[in-house]
Amino acid sequence: MPADLLSVPLSLLRICADVVFPPVCHSCNARLPHGDSIACPACLAAIVPVDEWDDAYREAFERLKEERTVSDFVAAWYFEQEGPLRALMHRLKYGGMTSIGLEFGRVLGERIRDAGLGESDIVVPLPLHVSRMRERGFNQCELIARGVSAVTGRPLRTDLLRRTRFTPSQTPLGHLERRKNVQDAFGLRAHAPHEIAGRSVLLVDDVVTTGATMRSCAGALHGAGVRAVIACAVAIAR
* CATH code of the domain in which 233 resides: 3.40.50.2020
CA distance 80 to 86: 7
All residues at 6 or more sequence positions from 125 whose CB lies less than 8 Å from its CB, including other chains = 139, 141, 142, 144, 145, 156, 158, 203, 204, 205
Angle between helices 140-152 and 84-95 (to 10 degrees): 110
| 128 & 213 share domain | yes
Residues 118 and 197 in one domain: yes
Same domain, 67 and 174: yes
Domain identity same for 211 and 128: yes
Quick one: 42 and 54 in the same domain?
no
Q: Which amino acid is at 217?
A: C
The pLDDT tens digits for 99-133 are 999 999 999 999 999 999 999 999 999 998 888 88
- Indicate if 82 and 151 belong to the same structural domain: yes
pLDDT at res. 163? 84
Parent domain of 2: 1-46
User: How many domains are contained in the chain?
Assistant: 2
> pLDDT tens digits for 29-70?
888 876 567 899 999 999 999 999 999 999 999 999 988 999
100-120 burial string, b = 16+ CB within 10 Å, else e?
bbbbbbbbbbbbbbeeebbeb
State whether 54 and 96 are in the same domain: yes
Whether 153 and 222 map to the same domain: the answer is yes
User: 75 and 119: one domain?
Assistant: yes
Q: Which of 212, 226, 220, 219 lies closest to 68 in space, CA to CA?
A: 219
- Polymer length of the chain: 238
pTM, to two decimals: 0.84
pLDDT at 167: 60
Please check the confidence at residue 143 and state whether its pLDDT lies above 80. Answer: yes
Q: Do 51 and 167 belong together in one domain? A: yes
Residues 20 and 56 in one domain: no
Judge if 189 and 86 occupy the same domain. yes
